[in-house]
Amino acid sequence: MLLSELVDAPELGLHLLHLAQDVYDRPIGRLVTTDLLEPGNYLNGGELVLTGLVWRRSAADSETFVTSVAGRGATTILAGKALFGTIPVDLLEACRHHQVTLVEVPTEVAFADVTEYVAAAGSANAGARLSASLVRQRELLSAITSGRTLDELAARIAGEIGHDCRVITATGRHVVPGPGELDDPTLDAVTRRFLTADLTPAVAVSGDASYSLFPVGSGLGNRLTAWLLVIDGDHTQWPRDHVEAAQELCAIAALDRVRRDEGRIALRPLVADALALIESGSPLAEVTTRLKQAGVRPDQPMVVAVAELRDGPDDVAITVLEDVALMVGLAVVAPGRDDLLVGLLPSSPGLPDRLRRAFGRLAPGLARTKLAVGISGETAIDALAGALEEARFAHRVARAGTTPVSVVTSDEVASHVLLLATVPDDVRRTYTYRVLGPVLEHDSRTGSELIATLREFLACSGSWSRTAEALHLHVNTVRYRIERVEQLTGRDLSWFEDRVDVFLALKSL
């Protein structure tokens, strides 16, 4: 029930002395009866505190009591007037100062009467909510079995609760866009909060807007592959029946997801067969026929994505890649000959950036795993084998990255990064020590920061003055340190070849 309903109950005769903002029409939380001077340790937030004022020995005690109550988020104090015959003015002033609602309980009304009234109203409301919930569930199930779409059902619930509803995935794909898709910064904030929240439903904040996040289906599944219901507003401020309506929509969305997943899983063997034909060098006509059966349009340009979720479950990895693929077309994904996942995606302008952002949204949810993705350039169906090798090459570079999510395109690997990524770790370590070993030992022994100076010197293209300015050193200090590096390495940094050797050794650290 609402606080306004409690205050207006004629049989209780309560008298409102001070009303804090946005409290009167808010659902009543837990009732706590106390006569402790500082009861804050026993409050969790949102409570109605009933007190007989036994704790008050002086006017200063009112400030102490209300500070303790307000500090723990309690919204309302119900104070009995029996002890003093009236509510002390200092208590009213303290409630005004801390914006806590104050209600006077008449002498003839026992606190047990208030508690029993709230409990009885709560039981009646719970029964009504349960009845309404069952009716709504039957209506939603009937609607979806009669062919209504999830978009239509989400719009219906949005109309009932007065908040826009969307269903998205952890990568930011809109399953149900609602009144319109969320922008990228909002999607980033929403998915990050969902992946890192200790408990759900949770609330995400983006700019000045709040969004309530409800897991679709079991909240115990892997959140990387989850759907979530995103509703405008903070659910902690809603009536209970609105929260229940959102949860019922989640249950219906979970059923809809099962139907969609079954169709996608049925296509996986066809995709796997098509990929095996591509990798075995089968005739183009045979490859084209199998790809058509999997839903691929052979006349459109494509890109190939190769992905790996290291130390992660296989079913999670393929679901994640399929989810991202669905952002741009069909989920044409299957394991390749090396057990890496391969996706065939329709090409479009800006596709690599879209893929990078979508995969990147999963980073907050990757605890001990790492996602590496390689993407080929645009290709036609008759050159898919070459594009697949491009994507595998880019994946090897991505695999060498140090971030939780690494997405590399084929046009990014034409640099020293490609060279270093394809060199075995032990070879890189040996090369680094052979070139920079004496410098590293000197720094370790003396703390002279030769490596840091060398790195900045090369970044500044060998400019003494720019290096000195960047490091806040005198030019002569920079000259001395670089000369010392040359002595220790036996290389002349004015020569291009020697600079390349040192540069690659630094990048291999």
Q: Do domains 3-118 and 263-421 have the same CATH topology?
A: no
Residue 313's pLDDT is 77
pLDDT at 415: 58
For the stretch 254-264, pLDDT in tens is: 888 888 888 88
Compare 313 and 249 and report the one with higher pLDDT.
249
Tell me whether strands 31-33 and 48-51 are parallel, antiparallel or unpaired: parallel
Pair of tokens at residue 51 = 């007190």
pLDDT band at 146 (very low <50, low <70, confident <90, very high): low
- Residue 166 has φ and ψ, to the nearest 5°, of -135, 155
State mean pLDDT over 343-353. Answer: 90
Mean pLDDT of 429-442: 90
On the question of pLDDT at 509 being above 80, the answer is no
Q: What confidence score (pLDDT) does residue 141 get?
A: 61
Name the pLDDT band for 225 (thresholds 50, 70, 90): very high
Class in CATH terms, 3-118: alpha beta
What value does the mean pLDDT of the chain take? Answer: 86
In this predicted structure, which of 75-79, 153-157, 312-316 has the lowest mean pLDDT? 312-316
pLDDT recorded at residue 127: 45
174 or 247: which leads in pLDDT? 174
Residue 508 has pLDDT above 90, yes or no: no
How high is the pLDDT of residue 263? 82
Smallest CA-to-CA distance from 377 within 329, 411, 405, 335 is with: 411
Angle at 325 between CA 252 and CA 401, to 5 degrees: 120
Q: Please state, in angstroms and rounded to a whole number, the distance separating the CA atoms of residues 145 and 155.
A: 17
pLDDT recorded at residue 390 = 84
Q: What is the pLDDT of residue 335?
A: 87
- Residue 288 burial by Cβ neighbours in a 10 Å radius (0-12, 13-18, 19+): middle
State the pTM of this model: 0.59
Q: What angle do CA 37, 65, 82 make, to 5 degrees?
A: 75
Instruction: Name the pLDDT band for 371 (thresholds 50, 70, 90).
Output: very high
Q: Does domain 148-257 have CATH number 3.40.50.300?
A: no
Residue whose entry in the numeric block shows the structure tokens 């007037």: 81
Q: Is the pLDDT of residue 133 over 70?
A: no
What is the DSSP annotation of 157-223?
HHHHHTS-EEEEETT--EEE-TTSPPPHHHHHHHHHHHHH-SSSSEEEEETTEEEEEEESS-TTS-G
Give the whole-number percent of the chain exceeding pLDDT 70. Answer: 92
Least confident of 37-51, 141-155, 304-318: 141-155
For the segment 128-156, the average pLDDT, to the nearest whole number, is: 65
Query: Is residue 375 very low, low, confident or very high in pLDDT (cuts 50, 70, 90)?
Result: very high
pLDDT for 82 equals: 85
Given this model, what pLDDT does residue 436 score? 93
Structure confidence at residue 99 (pLDDT): 92
Alpha helices per DSSP H over 72-183: 89-98, 111-145, 150-161
Reported confidence tier of residue 18, pLDDT bands at 50, 70, 90: very high
Please check the confidence at residue 100 and state whether its pLDDT lies above 80. yes
Q: Which strand (E) or helix (H) includes residue 359?
A: helix 351-360
What is the second-level CATH architecture of the domain 425-507?
Orthogonal Bundle (1.10)
* Residue 170 · residue 191 · CB < 8 Å: yes
pLDDT tens column, 77-95: 999 988 889 999 999 999 9
The per-residue pLDDT for 413 is 67
Q: What is the pLDDT of residues 405-425, one digit of tens each?
A: 999 888 776 556 556 655 666
pLDDT at 374 over 50: yes
pLDDT reading at 477 higher than 90: yes
- Over range 427-431, report the average pLDDT: 81
User: Quick check: 126 pLDDT over 90?
Assistant: no
3-state helix, strand, coil in the chain (%, to 5): 50, 15, 30
Find how far residue 77's CA is from the centre of its chain. Answer: 38
d(CA 31, CA 115): 7
Segment 5-27 shows an average pLDDT of 85
Cis peptide before 269 (omega within 30 of 0): no
User: pLDDT by residue (tens digit) across 277-295?
Assistant: 888 888 888 888 988 888 8
* Structure tokens belonging to residue 152: 């239509």
In this structure, CATH architecture of domain 263-421: 2-Layer Sandwich (3.30)
Q: Where are the domains of the chain?
A: 3-118, 148-257, 263-421, 425-507
Top-confidence residue, 424 or 499: 499
Model confidence at 297, pLDDT cuts 50, 70, 90, reads: confident
Question: What is the spatial distance between Cα 50 and Cα 422, in angstroms, rounded to a whole number?
Answer: 71
Contact 399, 387 (CB under 8 A): no
